[in-house]
Amino acid sequence: MSTTIHRPLGLSELLAETIRLYGHRFGAAIGVGLPIGGVFLATLVTPPVVDIVIVAVAFTASYAAAARVAAGDSLAEAWAQAGLRAPILLVLVLVVAVPFALAVTQLYLIVPAVAWLGLMGFAIPVAMLEQDPEAKNWFHCLGHAVSRSVALARAEYLHAVGVSAALVMVYIVLGIVLASTLVGFADNGREIAVAIAQVILAPLFVLGLSVLYFEQKVRAVSSRSDPTRRPDAEVPDAVDPE
List, for residues 114-123, the tens digit of each pLDDT value.
Answer: 999 999 999 9
* Non-local CB neighbours of 129 within 8 Å, separated by 6+ positions: 67, 68, 71, 213, 235, 236, 239
For residue 240, what pLDDT is reported? 43
CA 13 from chain centre, in angstroms, equals 18
Q: How confident is the model at residue 182 (pLDDT cuts 50, 70, 90)?
A: confident
Contact status, residue 67 vs residue 238, Cβ threshold 8 Å: no
Q: How confident is the model at residue 214 (pLDDT cuts 50, 70, 90)?
A: very high
Q: Between these two residues, 198 and 237, which has the higher pLDDT value? A: 198
For residue 13, what pLDDT is reported? 94
Query: How many other CB atoms are found less than 10 A from the CB of residue 232?
Result: 6
pLDDT digits (tens, 9 = 90+) for 36-77: 999 999 988 889 889 899 999 999 999 999 999 999 999 999
Q: Which residues of 181-203 are buried (b: 16+ CB within 10 A; e: fewer)?
A: ebbeeeebeeebbbbbbbbbbbb
pLDDT digits (tens, 9 = 90+) for 124-152: 999 999 987 777 777 888 899 999 999 99
Q: How confident is the model at residue 224 (pLDDT cuts 50, 70, 90)?
A: low
For residue 234, what pLDDT is reported? 42
CA pair distance 121, 36, nearest whole angstrom: 17
For residue 230, what pLDDT is reported? 47
* Non-local CB neighbours of 27 within 8 Å, separated by 6+ positions: 75
The closest alpha carbon to 121, from 87, 168, 86, 169, belongs to: 168
CB half-sphere exposure, 121, CA atoms < 13 A: 32
The CA distances from residue 165 to 12, 16, 110, 116, 201, in Å, are 13, 16, 9, 11, 15
Q: At what angle do helices 26-43 and 11-24 cross, to 10 degrees?
A: 100
**DSSP letter (8 states) at residue 46:** S
Give the pLDDT mean for 164-193: 86
Q: At what angle do helices 11-24 and 190-223 cross, to 10 degrees?
A: 120
Q: Which residues of 127-141 are buried (b: 16+ CB within 10 A; e: fewer)?
A: bbbbebeeeeeeeeb
Helices then strands, counting H and E runs in the chain, come out as 11, 0
For residue 229, what pLDDT is reported? 47
Give the pLDDT mean for 96-109: 82
For residue 183, what pLDDT is reported? 82
* Non-local CB neighbours of 188 within 8 Å, separated by 6+ positions: 182, 196
